[in-house]
Amino acid sequence: MQDQRRDRAGFSLIELIVVIAILGILSVTVVMNIDSKTDDARVSSIQVDLKTLATAASMFRITFGRYPDSLEELIEPPEINDVQKYFLDDTPIDPYSNENYLYEVDDRGALFTSYGRDQVPGGEGYDADRNSRMRGSSSSP
């Protein structure tokens, strides 16, 4: 007896559906990992920016005996004895809001703040507020 099966070229519908499902699952996994790495990079950038701003404000205070009135004053400070000093070349931008970091001066000195991914006070993880007074791993998500 001869095998009456026809020679088939190609894949069955079930095989194609299985392959498409597997590719879909893999792509979702990759996209989720890339998204979390983007947020990790933003948090690291915020931590570096806040440290830079706090250092520049402290140097300004040492030079002028007061904290700057605004972030712009760190870029264009007043002249002292006909000498122009510069503390920052450019104002760092919060990677979540794409605007300047919040700046205020209180009884403890200069405070720079980012409200995190959600841009509202409070939150946890990537939505957590970060400021220039945080130290070490407490500011990590």
pLDDT in tens, 76-111: 898 877 777 888 888 899 999 999 999 999 999 999
pLDDT at 138: 43
Number of domains in the chain: 1
The residues, ordered by sequence, that sit 6+ positions from 63 with a Cβ below 8 Å of its Cβ are 77, 80, 85
pTM of the model: 0.71
pLDDT at residue number 139: 43
4, part of any domain: no
Q: Is residue 62 part of a domain?
A: yes
Q: Which of 66, 130, 72, 70 is nearest to 96 (CA)?
A: 130
8 part of a folded domain: no
Mean pLDDT of all residues in 113-120: 93
Q: What is the pLDDT of residue 140?
A: 47
What does the mean pLDDT of the chain come to?
Answer: 86
pLDDT at res. 84:
75
The whole domain housing 93 covers 13-139
Structural domain contains residue 53: yes
